[in-house]
């Protein structure tokens, strides 16, 4: 199962062994473009640049998607509330992108009807909502069954019986998509690599090198081999999310517009404690709106939106954040009684927005902006997960205009590049594949796990199932998890337990108990596959345990 280290990596491999080969080449290569930041923004730029023929390197200081891109609401959505702020351009772009991203990864970007309950005495009311959603559908080009449907009071309560029967006056149902942000990022990175990009995690940009006043190279620190190196490039892009201004500051170009970071928190509850039947977008007492989204055995709820001035590297859910969300739930769903102890897990992320004088956290625009410094550093900030492909297109168009106009590079065609190998044609095909997988796994593996595998990996589940056959553990659930881990070590550049349990699988958020059951077995497999010492293995297990404590630390910080 675990190939000996001396074998050369196969062509399809994206693993620690490939990483070592790439690291050895970096000093001698000059890249057309170096992208700093392995969140969805950097991943999208790497795919666009590489597919058009640019010699591309992406570096990420931590793991891919370890910043904001694993801490969002995990919706590919048009942003209904931006309509209220009259941001028609933004709604049109991200609204239209939903269908494109769904087509490129139909198993991973899954249609989800969103219920919007309406009340007599709060919110926009029936008619304004009806017109607003009509405009929303029009801007995003939504057609057929996906167009918004207005509901009577009775219909609304049938969709969601937990709502307050006294207060609700009607409702609306409209189309959105749910995803897994970290998996969308890793699949985009993998596709960029297939298109020729080098994407390397745990490699931090620490400074810029200049020639004739222009950025000509990036000084980097490799956190795996613990050494520094310098890599040359024609163009450097700063796609560092909440860290964008830190790099602009290093580049002496932090003038004019700046980032304004706002924190958003989600809490995860067992489905039996908050058994909503479907995704719902509802008002909370301060007039904001939050989402409740069922996902397998849990329902997750969020988000908050508060100004953030703390440490960017240590962002946690506080007791106050968690209580805000719980209060929002109980004020809309009067039969649901929750305490902090009901929360299984949580996550907190930072929105890298552009500061606008006098505006509150929720009023700030979600539009992306590009800054070009005098020394040529291109920085991009703001934006949404949903709009990543269009953001990337704008950045790469700019790179080509500035530095490669005479070359014969292709026009952007990422709307035609599927995000997983051997992709499903549509969601129906992904759904039908569940029956095939069911026949290949023992009955004690629940259907829910099969759905999770397909929504996470698409047809790559075939590879995981082949590995499942060659593992020998008696516990089928453990065998399956180790097969998934094996796959992710070889094909998803997983080099720590945290990479696997947080970004590749989302288990830290959605099934934290499962980590406790399989942590030692996973550590042991990684020790053999990556050649860890006993000390390194212990360190990794300890780190995982402390992350598990962190996500509910607010319970004890009274
Ligand atoms: P990040 O994901 O933070 O990536 C930047 C990366 O750069 C990080 O991984 C970081 O480690 C790396 N980096 C930083 N400095 C360096 C360095 N010196 N060297 C190397 N690497 C470096 N959008 C939606 O479309 N739908 C949603 O449902 C949604 N919900 C949201 C909910 C919340 C609470 C938040 C906070 C955001 C939400 N968003 C949503 C917005 C979306 O998540 C972000 O716009 C997007 O993830 C930002 O991605 P990014 O790549 O720009 O930043």
pLDDT at 4: 42
pLDDT at residue number 146:
83
Average pLDDT over residues 542-551: 97
pTM for the complete prediction?
A: 0.96
Whether 46 and 199 have beta carbons less than 8 Å apart is answered as: yes
Is the CB of residue 62 less than 8 Å from the CB of residue 273? no
E strand or H helix at 214: strand 214-222
Confidence of residue 93 (pLDDT cuts 50, 70, 90): confident
Q: Residue 276, CB half-sphere, CA atoms under 13 Å: how many?
A: 29
User: Ligand 1 mean position to 69 CA, how many Å?
Assistant: 4
Q: Could you tell me the distance, in angstroms and rounded to a whole number, from the CA of residue 504 to the centre of ligand 1?
A: 16
Whether residue 205 has pLDDT greater than 50: yes
Q: Which residues are 211's β-sheet partners?
A: 214
The per-residue pLDDT for range 501-526, each reduced to its tens digit, is 999 999 999 999 999 999 999 999 99
252: tokens are 């002496």
Question: What is the reported pLDDT for 364?
Answer: 73
How far apart, in whole angstroms, are the C-alpha atoms of residue 118 and residue 150?
Answer: 10
* Per-residue pLDDT at 3 exceeds 50: no
- Position 199 scores a pLDDT of 98
pLDDT at 35 exceeding the cut of 80: yes
Q: How far is the CA of 42 from the centre of ligand 1 (A)?
A: 9
**Residue among 291, 279, 276, 110 at smallest CA distance from 183:** 110
Ligand 1, atom 35, residue with closest C-alpha: 72
d(CA 238, CA 247) in angstroms, rounded, equals 7
Tens digits of residue pLDDT in 421-480: 778 888 788 888 999 999 999 999 999 999 999 999 999 999 999 999 988 878 999 999
SS (H, E, C) 520-555: HHHHHHHHHHHCCCHHHHHHHHHHHHHHHHHCCHHH
Judged against a pLDDT cut of 80, whether residue 122 lies above it is answered with no
Task: For the chain, give the percent of residues with pLDDT over 70.
Answer: 98
Q: Which of 98, 243, 348 to mutate to test the pocket of ligand 1 (most atoms within 8 A of CB)?
A: 243
Note the pLDDT of residue 6: 54
Mean pLDDT of the chain: 92
pLDDT (mean) for 218-244: 97
26 torsion bin: left (phi>0), alpha (psi -120 to 50), beta (else): alpha
426: left (phi over 0), alpha (psi -120 to 50) or beta: beta
What's the gap in Å between 465 CA and the centre of ligand 1?
Answer: 32
Task: At 16, list the tokens.
Answer: 């620690």
For the ranges 129-133, 341-345, 368-372, the maximum mean pLDDT occurs at 341-345
* CA–CA separation, 302 and 289 (whole Å): 9
Q: Which two tokens stand for residue 240?
A: 């560092």
Does residue 68 have its Cβ closer than 6 Å to ligand 1? yes
The set of residues, in sequence order, having a beta carbon less than 8 Å from that of 145 and lying 6+ positions away, is none
Q: What is the pLDDT of residue 201?
A: 98
Check if 264 has its Cβ closer than 6 Å to any atom of ligand 1: yes
pLDDT confidence band for 132 (50 / 70 / 90): confident
Residue 60 in contact with ligand 1 by CB distance below 6 A: yes
Residue 36 to residue 57: CA distance in whole angstroms: 9
Number of H helices, E strands in the chain: 18, 18
- In this prediction, residues 188-215 reach a mean pLDDT of 97
User: Which residues make beta-bridge pairs with 119?
Assistant: 168
Determine the distance separating the centroid of ligand 1 and the alpha carbon of 4, expressed in angstroms: 36
Extended strands (E) in 67-213: 75-76, 110-119, 149-151, 168-178, 198-200, 203-211
- Whether residue 163 has pLDDT greater than 70: yes
Distance from Cα 185 to the centre of ligand 1, integer Å: 10
Residue 46 Cβ inside 6 Å of ligand 1? The answer reads no
Radius of gyration of the chain (CA): 23
Task: Give the residue-averaged pLDDT of 37-51.
Answer: 98
Residue with CA closest to ligand 1 atom 33: 72
- State the burial class of residue 547 (Cβ atoms within 10 Å of its Cβ: 0-12, 13-18, 19+): middle
CA angle 96, 455, 530 (to 5 degrees): 120
What angle (nearest 5°) sits at the alpha carbon of residue 89, between those of residues 390 and 117?
Answer: 105
The answer on pLDDT for 2 being more than 60 is no
How far apart CA 442 and CA 151 sit, in angstroms, is: 42
CB contact at 8 A, 71 and 241: no
CA distance 538 to 322: 31
Residue range 259-268: average pLDDT? Answer: 96
CA of 421 to the centre of ligand 1 (A): 25
């Amino acid at each position: 199962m675990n190939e000996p280290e001396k074998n050369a990596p196969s062509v399809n491999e994206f693993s620690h062994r490939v990483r070592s080969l790439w690291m050895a080449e970096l000093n001698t290569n000059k890249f057309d473009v170096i992208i700093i930041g392995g969140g969805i923004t950097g991943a999208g730029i790497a795919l666009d640049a590489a597919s058009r023929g640019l010699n591309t390197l992406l570096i990420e200081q931590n793991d891919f998607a370890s910043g904001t891109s694993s801490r969002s609401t995990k919706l590919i959505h048009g942003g209904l509330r931006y309509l209220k702020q009259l941001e028609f351009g933004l709604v049109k772009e991200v609204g239209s992108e939903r269908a494109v991203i769904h087509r490129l990864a139909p198993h991973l970007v899954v249609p989800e009807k969103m219920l919007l309950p309406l009340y007599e005495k709060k919110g926009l009311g029936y008619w304004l909502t009806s017109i607003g959603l009509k405009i929303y559908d029009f801007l995003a080009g939504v057609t057929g069954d996906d167009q918004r449907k207005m509901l009577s009071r009775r219909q609304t309560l049938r969709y969601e019986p937990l709502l307050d029967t006294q207060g609700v006056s009607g409702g609306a149902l409209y189309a959105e998509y749910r995803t897994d942000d970290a998996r969308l990022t890793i699949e985009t990175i993998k596709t960029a690599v297939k298109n020729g990009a080098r994407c390397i995690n745990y490699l931090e940009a620490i400074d810029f090198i200049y020639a004739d006043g222009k950025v000509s190279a990036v000084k980097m620190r490799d956190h795996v081999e613990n050494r520094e190196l310098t890599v040359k490039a024609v163009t450097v892009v700063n796609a560092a999310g909440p860290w964008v201004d830190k790099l602009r500051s290093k580049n002496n170009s932090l003038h004019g517009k700046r980032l304004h970071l706002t924190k958003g928190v989600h809490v995860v509850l067992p489905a039996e404690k908050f058994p909503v039947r479907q995704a719902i977008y509802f008002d909370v007492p301060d007039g904001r709106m939050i989402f409740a989204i069922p996902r397998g055995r849990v329902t997750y709820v969020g988000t908050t939106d508060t100004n953030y001035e703390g440490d960017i590297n240590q962002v946690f859910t506080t007791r106050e954040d968690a209580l805000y969300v719980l209060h929002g739930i109980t004020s809309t769903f009067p039969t649901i009684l929750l305490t902090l102890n009901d929360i299984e897990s949580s996550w907190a992320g930072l929105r890298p927005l552009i500061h606008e004088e006098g505006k509150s956290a929720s009023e700030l625009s979600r539009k992306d902006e590009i800054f070009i410094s005098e020394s040529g550093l291109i920085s991009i900030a703001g934006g949404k997960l949903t709009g990543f492909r269009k953001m990337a297109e704008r950045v790469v168009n700019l790179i080509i205009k500035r530095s490669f106009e005479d070359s014969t590079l292709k026009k952007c065609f990422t709307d035609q590049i599927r995000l997983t190998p051997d992709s499903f044609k549509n969601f129906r095909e992904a759904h039908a594949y569940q029956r095939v997988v069911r026949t290949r796994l023992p009955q004690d593996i629940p259907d829910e796990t099969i759905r999770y595998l397909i929504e996470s990996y698409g047809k790559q589940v075939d590879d995981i199932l082949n590995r499942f056959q060659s593992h020998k553990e008696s516990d089928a659930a453990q065998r399956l998890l180790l097969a998934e881990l094996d796959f992710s070590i070889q094909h998803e550049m997983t080099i720590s337990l945290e990479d696997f349990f947080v970004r590749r699988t989302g288990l830290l958020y959605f099934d934290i108990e499962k980590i406790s059951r399989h942590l030692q077995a996973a550590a042991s497999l990684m020790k053999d596959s990556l050649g860890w010492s006993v000390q390194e293995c212990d360190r990794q297990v300890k780190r995982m345990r402390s992350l598990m404590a962190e996500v509910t630390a607010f319970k004890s910080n009274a």
